[in-house]
Amino acid sequence: MPNRPRNSFKKVAMFATFVSCEACCFTGAQDFTIRFANSNPFGVNGPLPFGESLDLYAEKGLKGGISGEIGLQSTYDSNFFQSPNNLESELSTTISPSLAYSTDPEGGARIQMTAGYSPTAVAYLHNTNLNGIDQTGSISLVISGSRTVISAYTGYVQQSGVDRFAGGYVTGSELSFGLSGIYQLAPRTSLFANWVNSSVDYGESSTVGFSNYSASVGGNWAATEIFSFGPSLNYSTSNSDNTGSRDSWGCSIQARYKDVGNLQMAGSLGLQYWKNSRDAETNTLNFMGSLNVSYEISELWSWSGSIQSGVVPSPTQSNYVINNWSVTSYLDRSLLIGSIAMGLDMAFSNFDQVGVVGTSQDVEQNIGVVLRYGRPIVSNRFGFNTSIRYVLNRGSIDWSQIQLNAGLSMGF
């Protein structure tokens, strides 16, 4: 864990709920299966990361103890069911109010709790039988002492959509719990321990969910005021009716760099050794890593990127786990009013065999290119956004799609 001032933990707790809700917007195009391939609220790209990347959202933070927002979005999809031949278009409309509360929005209190909830109602023009309401909620708690900081997190996410790994339209849900403790051993040295429990369910008998427990311990040394690093040891076990139980052990190096000016970066890189109950004689060694970077190039230009790895049991294929690497990159240009952004997101998924299988699975490559525009209207509490996204998928099924999106939002 990086060595941070106590007040930085307050910022993490304050914006945790906001960022977890924002993540739904940025990763909504991802399959539910891949989105939760690495369910760790204390990871680099989680709502309570070990780095200080949440400082990027300071201008969007909670005003007062309570904040809220309501959004209206319409999306056109040229290939809704991701078919290689029989393309079926769809027009959907979503309404998503959200409410967040913090007991200490200004920071400085020894105990702080942050909570948020956001339901999302979606209606389809042609597939009206798929209309429904998804929900997202989370609670985080931070207790700070003279040398110790204890964080607790629980979150629930329900997401509906077409999942290429689940074989069609599904409604997936994840319930997660996490505890983290940090002890300041010396002015530049700290120790940490994390524990996370998550459970994923698809709500259908033909699509199988999984449960996961993970724990990690490690240390951190602040080499300078802007750079810190340290080792981490972790153990995790997951269980699925499709794949049996899977145990893994890993070691990694975690690092954080935060320039006073333009660059912020938090990442981890290591090796993971795992074995499966259905194939005990075969053991596998994989690379694992995560990265979250933001760089303010100038007053007008900024760039952000991320890398995330994770392994998740296949929800439909017996004796296969999905080893996935996701990469995102966004370049933002501020305009006189509003901003425009260009983005690229890629997911590379390998199917690792963990037992006797009937047929082999192809490597999946999913690449998306997006162009977004947003601006305030009337006042800073109202906003307009629009985007166009092209997706190309190569693997067991080759398909492509175009998504057009436009929406309004109001904060209060």
Q: Distance between CA 13 and CA 112 in Å, rounded?
A: 7
Element (H, E) at 405: strand 399-411
User: Could you read off the pLDDT tens digit of each residue along the chain, which spans 412 residues?
Assistant: 444 433 433 343 334 433 443 443 444 456 788 877 656 777 777 666 653 333 333 334 444 478 899 999 999 999 999 999 889 999 999 999 999 988 887 777 888 888 999 999 999 999 999 999 999 999 988 888 889 988 888 999 999 999 999 888 999 999 999 899 999 999 999 999 999 999 999 987 689 999 999 999 999 999 998 999 999 999 999 999 999 999 999 999 999 898 877 898 989 999 999 888 988 777 788 899 999 899 999 999 999 999 988 888 999 989 999 999 999 999 999 999 999 999 999 999 999 888 888 778 889 999 999 999 999 987 778 999 999 999 999 998 899 999 999 999 998 7
Please name the residue ranges forming H helices in 36-106: none
Give which of 207, 197, 278 is closest to 238, Cα–Cα: 197
The length of the chain, given as a count of residues: 412
Q: Distance between CA 389 and CA 79 in Å, rounded?
A: 12
Count CB neighbours of 360 within 10 A. Answer: 9
Phi, psi of 34 (to 5 degrees): -75, -35
Count CB neighbours of 74 within 10 A. Answer: 16
Count how many Cα atoms sit within 13 Å of the Cα of residue 200 in the half-sphere of its side chain.
28
Q: Distance between CA 152 and CA 9 in Å, rounded?
A: 12
Give which of 227, 237, 232 is closest to 265, Cα–Cα: 227
List of domains in the chain: 6-411 (2.40.160)
Q: Distance between CA 169 and CA 410 in Å, rounded?
A: 30
Burial of 154 (0-12, 13-18, 19+ CB in 10 A): middle
Residue 236 DSSP label: E
